[in-house]
Amino acid sequence: MTTSVIKRYYDGLAEGTIQATKCPTCDTVTFPPTTACEKCGSFEVEWVELSGKGALEYVSHGAAPPPNPAFNDLAPYSYGHVRLDEGVYVQGIVTNVEPTPTALEELFQRGPVPVEADIIDVGGLPVLAFKVV
Amino acid sequence: MGKLTRPVYLLGAGCTKFGNLLETPEIKGLSIYELAAQAARRALEDAKTDPREIDAFIIGNHMPQSLNMGSLYSQFTKWIGMEHKAGVQVAAACSTTNAAATMAASQIAAGVYRKVLVVGVEATQNNPKGPFPYGREPITSENMWMWTDYGVNQAYGVPQGYDIFPVYNGLMALAYRRKYGLTQEEFDRGMMELCRTKRLHGSLTPNAILQETLEEEAKRLGFTDLYEFWTSPHNPYIAYPTRLRSLVTAADGASAMVLSDADGAREYDGMPIELLGWGISVGDLPWYQEDGTTFPADVIAFREAYEMADIRPEQIGYLHTHDCSHISGLTNAELSGYLPEGKGLMYAAEGRLRFDGDRPMSTHGGRHAFGHAWAASAGADTLEAMDQIRGRAGKKQIPTPPQIAVVHTHGYAMISTVLVLRGGM
């Protein structure tokens, strides 16, 4: 019995951990995890855990309804570009920023702000979101 | 990257009107087969090429859910005059036809084929109606985007709330504002001018889906001040700070082109267009990292295209960058070296991006005004570049036809494709 990389990632999220793969050859972290190093292509990768802490570089919003109907109940929502402390960039829902021009402009004026992971449930699937701290 | 060992030429190209198969008079009532056939016929006629001279064809589509079909090579072969030719289907989303052109060029340069037909076809507004193979019915915007997003990371991106509008527009726009210190009003005014240019070009292009200039639309809706219209509820924020009229206009449409070796180009009594070189690079989400205005895939694609074609940005006389997101189109124009960094909005405001300006861009109207029929659009972009080089672009002809044109497209999500074209042999 083997476990899919994808299932291991979501199982980890359900338990509150954020898992990535790291290449022992070139030290590049691939996130979200895959079967090969995103930089050198090596298939010899190892699992590592990320902190979920980082900086929200920019935050915009999407309108309702969203492209993915699984998010109908959540939309409209704010969506951000995050640099994790491990140097990895990830984009995701930002849960505690109102998706309004006023709130989004206010965040923009503040510049990068600290965030941490806020794992939410969407239709039974754990989803990596972030919240401003 | 190597170089072509033999020259390859575009002899002809064609496209349909971009619109809605249920509404737009020029294409209303056509089947998807006839839509593709119309583009193929126009390309073959432009190339003055009999279908029997074609050795192979490549056909592409992005969203099979609106066709309810696969294996397009055999399903379309009798409609586009290609029965029993070598044929294959390729998919590179909104880069499909131009990516297919590079594959055709490689085959021709290798001496395998002499002439190749490339076709792209897409319906984004409707899909087959019940059991009737001749009937179509509208699809919802939600379904269109869900099906389109099958081209986006399905392991993590889409299941975790990915949305094209903030990712491809809002976040990039904020990054651009921060990089160049723009207030929201400065950004808004610049984007209005950029849209005004696209809409002007669309109004001068018969095959464009939007024929109304931005000023005409504002007047029709009761505004005398264009900026007041731009910032009104008629033009809401879709992904802050990006507004509705800086985005794509989805359409149905088809495009095609004929590529040939040098013998075919010599026999052609019009102006052949040489495909000097190309660059292609793909990247998964996130498309940008520390610099939210720049995709690494675009950096590679432009660099490789320039190296293969042996050109410098100063030689470019016409540029199209993929602009279903106006901010992405602008950042790529700056990345290409055609516009100075951080000056794109100012150039738009000064009219320099117009067909009669000194940096003409997207003179068919781009993805907002010409419209966007996913897999068919790149071919329409290349057709416009060919028309400009040949001096047959009609009312929006660049006064001094360019010798070298560059066409950049983004195929969702994401294949950056850059073609370099030059007129003559």
Return the half-sphere exposure (C-beta side, CA atoms, 13 A cut-off) of residue B314. Answer: 0
pLDDT at A108 over 90: yes
- Looking at residue B422, the DSSP 8-state letter turns out to be E
User: Would you call A67 and B159 a contact, using CB atoms and an 8 Å cutoff?
Assistant: no
Domain interval for residue A84: 53-132
What does the pLDDT read at residue B197? 98
CB contacts, 8 Å: B238 with chain A? 63
Measure CA A8 to chain center.
Answer: 15
Tokens (6 digits) for A81: 């570009």
B246 DSSP 8-state letter: G
For residue A58, the chain B residues in CB contact (below 8 A) are 170-171, 174-175, 178, 292
- Residue A64 pLDDT exceeds 80: no
Cβ contact, residue pair A89, B159, below 8 Å:
no
Considering the domain architecture, whether residues A71 and A127 belong to the same structural domain is answered as yes
What tokens does B253 get? 């449409």
The DSSP H or E segment spanning B219 is helix B214-220
- Report in angstroms the alpha-carbon separations of B269 from B7, B11, B175, B265: 18, 10, 49, 8
Residues A125 and B152: their CA atoms lie apart, in Å, by 18
Q: Are A41 and A59 in the same domain? A: no
Residue B145 at interface with chain A, using a CB cutoff of 8 Å: yes
Q: Judge whether B234 and B97 are in contact, CB under 8 Å.
A: no
Q: Does A122 share its domain with A85?
A: yes
- What is the model's pLDDT at position B247? 97
Q: Helix crossing, B326-335 with B296-309: angle to 10°? A: 50
- Is the CB of residue B112 less than 8 Å from the CB of residue B103? no
Residues of A within 8 A of B144 (CB-CB) are none
Do A16 and A62 lie in one domain? The reply is no
Residue B143 near residue B100 (C-beta atoms within 8 A): no
Q: How far is B52 from chain A (nearest CA, A)?
A: 44
* Tokens standing for residue B195: 């849209």
What is the least distance, in Å, from the CA of B2 to any CA of chain A?
A: 21
Same domain, A41 and A58: no
Cross-strand partners of B319: B361, B406
Given the DSSP bridges, would you call strands A113-122 and A125-132 parallel, antiparallel or unpaired? antiparallel
CA A75 to chain centre: 17
Question: pTM to 2 decimals?
Answer: 0.98
| Of A66, A70, A91, Cβ closest to residue B285 | A91
Distance in angstroms between the alpha carbons of the first and the last residue of chain B: 23
Name every chain A residue with its beta carbon within 8 A of the beta carbon of B286.
Answer: 81, 89-91
Q: Closest partner residue to B239 among A9, A60, A92, by Cβ?
A: A60
pLDDT 10s digits, B232-287: 999 999 999 999 999 999 999 999 999 999 999 999 999 999 999 999 999 999 99
Q: According to the model, what pLDDT value does residue B153 have?
A: 97
Per residue in B283-314, pLDDT tens?
A: 999 999 999 999 999 999 999 999 999 999 99
Nearest to B162 by CA among A15, A77, A12: A77
How many Å apart are CA B239 and CA B154, to the nearest integer? 22
Residue ranges in chain B whose pLDDT is less than 70: none
d(CA A91, CA A79) in angstroms, rounded, equals: 7
- Give A9→chain B minimum CA distance, Å: 9
Considering the domain architecture, whether residues A41 and A90 belong to the same structural domain is answered as no
Q: Within this chain, do residues A61 and A125 fall inside the same structural domain, yes or no?
A: yes
How many separate domains does chain A show?
2
Q: What's the pLDDT score for residue B295? A: 98
For residue B422, which phi and psi values (nearest 5 degrees)?
Answer: -140, 135
If asked whether residues A35 and A64 sit together in one domain, one would say no
Q: Are residues A60 and A121 in the same domain?
A: yes
Nearest to A90 among B237, B286, B292 (CB): B286
Whether pLDDT at A1 is above 90? no
A-side interface with B, Cβ within 8 Å? 6, 9, 32, 34, 38, 57-63, 65-71, 74, 77, 79-81, 83, 89-93, 99, 101, 104-105, 108, 111, 122, 125, 127-129
Q: Which one is the CATH code of B9-145+250-267: 2.60.40.10, 3.30.70.120, 3.40.47.10, 3.40.1190.20? A: 3.40.47.10
Same domain (yes/no): A59, A44: no
Verify whether the Cβ–Cβ distance A129 to B175 is below 8 Å.
no
Question: Do A42 and A79 reside in the same domain of the chain?
Answer: no
Are B160 and A92 a contacting pair at CB < 8 A? yes
The helix/strand/coil state of B120 is strand
Structure tokens at A22: 């790291």
Angle at CA of residue B242, ends B168 and B234, nearest 5°: 130
The pLDDT assigned to A2 comes to 85
Provide the residue ranges of all domains of chain B, joining segments of one domain with +.
Answer: 9-145+250-267
The shortest C-alpha distance from B308 to chain A (Å) reads 24
Instruction: Supply A72's token pair.
Output: 């109908």
Interface probe, candidates B163, B300, B327, chain A, greatest A C-beta count within 10 A = B163
Name the average pLDDT for chain B.
Answer: 97
Looking from the CA of B369 toward its CB, the CA atoms found within 13 Å total 25
